Structure 1
Amino acid sequence: MIRDYRLFIKDILDSIDRIEKFVGDMDFEEFVEDDKTSTAVVKKIEIIGEAIKNIPKDVKERYGYIPWRDIVRMRNKITHDYFGIDYEIVWNVVKEKLPGLRAQVEQVLKDIE
């Protein structure tokens, strides 16, 4: 059975929620030193990118202001170049990009439900 793409959108929101809970009130140094947290955050970013791959093209085109391709590129870099992960970039994504992405994806979900 094919999974409804709305579930992938919910997976994105769930991953963002979990990332925010993992990081909590950590600062960058704590994040980098906490292998369990940094690894979990990277895994959730991978899941976000993988979920995006399962969202239909027409939906992504309708919401073209969301940086779908950039997110998938980040997922690909993390997945295929694990030893080259720049945790400063990951941290900046978590702190500066995910809140906006959450709002955008929540709007997509609201529109399609």
Structure 2
Amino acid sequence: MQRDPRAFLWDVRESAVAIQSFTVGMDAAAYAANEMAQAAVERKFEIMGEALNQLAKLDATLAARIPDLPQIVAFRNQLIHGYAAVNHSTVWNVIQTSLPPLLACVRSLLQELGEV
């Protein structure tokens, strides 16, 4: 049985909200010094990338409405396969600049499609 495409969007939304909660009150230096926050954030980005990868396979039309989806999946792959060379400054930049618009997009899609 296939998963409802909204479930993948829900996974992205929940992971994005978690990342924001893990990093609230931090700056780049505090994030770089906090190994637990890094591990938690990276895991949530991995979940987001995999959820969007699965969504693209299940519903390409819906997935195409997510800006930068291929880059998000590539970021997930980099975190998993290049784990020894993760640049914490890059991750922090993604949290600050790319995560808020992605979260807004996913929330909008979920509202449009109805919650899971």
Report runs of 4+ in structure 1 exceeding 4 Å deviation.
Answer: none
> What does 1:47-62 align with in structure 2 at a 5 Å threshold?
47-55=47-55, 56-61=59-64
Size of the alignment, in residue pairs?
Answer: 111
1:84 aligns with 2:81: no
1:105 and 1:18 map into 2 onto residues whose CA distance is 14
TM, length-normalised to structure 2: 0.91
> What does 1:1-113 align with in structure 2 at a 5 Å threshold?
1-55=1-55, 56-61=59-64, 63=65, 66-113=67-114
Q: SS where residue 54 of structure 1 aligns?
A: helix
Instruction: State percent identity of aligned pairs.
Output: 32
TM, length-normalised to structure 1: 0.93
Unpaired stretches in structure 1, ≥5 consecutive residues = none
Unpaired stretches in structure 2, ≥5 consecutive residues = none
Q: Deviations over 1:16-63 (max 9, x none)?
A: 1100010011111111111000110011000000000121212123x1
